[in-house]
Structure 1
Amino acid sequence: MCACAGSGARAGPRGRGCEERHMTERQTTTPVPSPEVSPTAPPLLSAQGLHVTYPGRNGGPPARAVDGVELDVRAGEIVALVGESGCGKTTLARALLGLVRPTGGSVSFGGEPLEYSARALKAYRRRVQLILQDPTGSLNPRHTVYDAVAEGLRIHGHRGDEREAVAAALSRAGLRPPERLFLRYPHELSGGQRQRVVIAGALVLEPELLVADEPVASLDASVRGEILALLLRLRAALGLSALVVTHDLGLAWNIADRLAVMYLGRIVETGDVEQVLTAPRHPYTQAMMSVLPGAAGAPVVLTGEPPDPSRIPSGCRFHARCQILASGEAERAGVAGACRDEDPGVLEGGDQAQVACHWARATATA
Structure 2
Amino acid sequence: MTEQRESTESVASLPEPDGGVPVTGKRGPLLEARDLHVEFASRGRRARAVDGVNLAVGEGEIVALVGESGCGKTTLARTLLGLERPTSGSVLYGGEPLAYSSHALKAYRREVQLVLQDPTGSLNPRHTVYEAVAEGPRIHGMSDEHDRVVSALARTGLRPPERFLNSYPHELSGGQRQRVVIAGALALDPRLLVADEPVASLDASVRGEILALLLRLRDELGLSALVVTHDLGLAWNIADRVAVMYLGRIVESGPVEQVLKAPTHPYTQALLSVLPDSPSPVVLSGEPPDPTRVPGGCRFHPRCQVLASGEAARAGVDGLCGSQPLMVLPAAPSSAGSHVACHYAGVRPG
Q: Which runs of 4+ in 1 moved over 3 A?
A: 34-41
Structure 1 spans left out of the alignment, 5+ residues: 1-12, 14-33
Which of 71, 75, 79 is the aligned partner of 1:95? Answer: 79
2:120 is aligned to: 136
1:51 partnered with 2:37: yes
Kept in 2, the 8 Å contact 1:106–1:113? The answer is yes
Whether 1:267 aligns to 2:250 is yes
How far residue 350 of structure 1 moved from its aligned partner, in angstroms, is 2.8
Aligned to 2:235: 252
Deviations 1:174-195 (A, max 9, x none): 1000011111100110000000
Matched, 1:151 2:117: no
Cα pair 2:64 2:239 within 8 Å, conserved: yes
The question of whether the paired residues in 2 share the 8 Å contact of 1:70 and 1:347 is answered with: yes
| RMSD value, Cα | 1.5
The letter of the residue matching 2:52 is G
- TM-score by length of structure 2 reads 0.92
Report whether the alignment pairs 1:85 with 2:73: no
2:288 to 293, 296, 306: 306
Structure 2 counterparts to residues 107-118 of structure 1, below 5 A: 107-118=91-102
Which residue among 350, 354, 359 is the counterpart of 2:339?
354
How far apart are the structure 1 equivalents of 2:213 and 2:272?
A: 26
User: Which residue matches 1:212?
Assistant: 195
| 1:195 counterpart residue number | 178
Counterparts of 2:344 and 2:50, CA distance in 1: 24
| Aligned-partner SS, 2:251 | strand
Moved more, 39-48 or 252-261: 39-48
Identity %: 72
Whole-angstrom distance in 1 between the partners of 2:332 and 2:253: 9
- Matched AA of 1:186: P
Q: CA deviation at 1:37?
A: 3.6
* 1:65/1:264 contact within 8 Å kept: yes
Query: Could you tell me how far 1:36 is from its partner in structure 2?
Result: 6.0
Alignment-derived partner of residue 320 in structure 1: 302
Secondary structure of the residue that 2:346 maps to in structure 1?
Answer: helix
Q: Which amino acid aligns with 1:163?
A: H
- SS of residue matched to 2:347: helix
Does the aligned pair in 2 maintain the 1:335–1:358 contact within 8 Å?
A: yes
* Higher relative contact order structure (alpha carbons within 8 Å, sequence separation ≥ 6): 2
In structure 2, give the amino acid aligned to 1:52. Answer: V
Partners of 1:353 and 1:275 lie apart in 2 by: 7
State the distance in 1 between where 2:348 and 2:248 align.
Answer: 25
Question: Deviations along 1:90-143, whole A, 9 cap, x unmatched?
Answer: 000000000000001000000110000000000000000000000000001111
What corresponds to 1:25 in structure 2?
Answer: none
CA distance in 2 between partners of 1:285 and 1:114 (Å): 31
Give the number of aligned pairs. 329
User: Residue 355 of structure 1 aligns to which amino acid in structure 2?
Assistant: V
CA distance in 1, matches of 2:156, 2:233: 23
Partner Cα distance (2:33, 2:260) in 1: 23
> How far apart, in 1, do the equivalents of 2:268 and 2:165 lie?
44
Question: CA shift at 1:333, angstroms?
Answer: 0.7
Give the gaps of 5 or more residues in structure 2.
Answer: 1-16
**2: CA distance between counterparts of 1:157 and 1:176?**
26
Alignment match of 2:152 (pick from 169, 189, 194): 169
Equivalent residues of 1:35, 1:239 under 8 A apart: no
TM-score by length of 1: 0.88
Cα contact 1:62–1:310 (8 A) shared by 2: yes
Q: What's 1:232 paired with?
A: 215
Matched AA of 2:316:
G
Letter in 1 for 2:314: R
8 Å contact kept, 2:111–2:188: yes
Matched position secondary structure for 1:338: helix
Q: Is the 8 A contact 2:298 2:321 kept in 1?
A: yes
